[in-house]
Amino acid sequence: MLAESAEAEDASGTSWIIKLKPDVTFHDGKTLDADDVIFSLQRILDPDTGSSAATTIATVDPKKLEKLDDLTLRVGMVKANAIFTEALAEMRVKIVPVGYDPSKPVGTGPFKYDKFVPGGMVELDTGNARYLIRFTQTLERQQGWAWAMFSAVRKLGP
């Protein structure tokens, strides 16, 4: 989750305030900020992009996206949307850095893009150490199959 909070600004539900978590970084080292979220939402809604996520966030007005500070933005709607936060969490709504190049994917999650062969395979690297450490700590608190699965995956790794 990239946001600390996302709340309707008032009872009408036509404007939302999103506060991003501090210190979230993309795999290329860039820190996530409000400009990235605005860029991403506008990119998704741009008909030239052909994003399948456009219908998911269709109530967002791309002309009413406003950066309030580095970690806060206002999202204006073309009409009220009581489930806007659920729409943002949909897996096709990807937040990418300003200037994103689809031929060089970058994200904020636990796996870093390494290689893609069309019709063949995708190779991912566990390039985000923060996630691996949290994952390991979580599994250490678990018992049974979860720890066994993690141990098996570690043996398969490099």
Rounded mean pLDDT, 126-136: 55
Q: What is the domain-level CATH number for residue 35?
A: 3.90.76.10
Question: Do 118 and 82 reside in the same domain of the chain?
Answer: no
67 lies in some domain: yes
Tell whether 80 and 7 lie within a shared domain.
yes
* 71 in the same domain as 16: yes
User: 39, 54, 89 — which closes off a domain?
Assistant: 89
Residue-wise DSSP of the chain: --EEEEEESSTT-SEEEEEEPTT-B-TTSPBP-HHHHHHHHHHHH-TTTT-TTTTTTTTEEEEEEEEEETTEEEEEESS--TTHHHHHHSTT-----TT--TTS---SSS-EEEEEETTTEEEEE---HHHHHHHHHHHHT--THHHHHHHHHHHH--
Poorest-confidence range of 3-12, 39-48, 68-77?
Answer: 3-12
Quick one: 116 and 152 in the same domain? Answer: yes
In a domain, 13, yes or no: yes
- Flag whether pLDDT at 103 surpasses 90: no
Q: What is the mean pLDDT of residues 124-137?
A: 57
Per-residue model confidence (pLDDT) at position 31: 94
pLDDT-derived band of residue 32, with 50, 70 and 90 as boundaries?
Answer: very high
Q: Quick one: pLDDT band at residue 141, thresholds 50, 70, 90?
A: very low
Domain identity same for 49 and 80:
yes
pLDDT band at 130 (very low <50, low <70, confident <90, very high): low
Per-residue pLDDT for 82 more than 90? no
Task: Give me the number of domains the chain comprises.
Answer: 2
Q: Which domain holds residue 12?
A: 3-89
75 and 122 belong to one structural domain: no
Q: Is residue 49 situated within a structural domain? A: yes
User: What percent of the chain is modeled with pLDDT above 70?
Assistant: 79
Q: Is residue 106 part of a domain?
A: no
The residue with greater pLDDT, 77 or 138, is 77
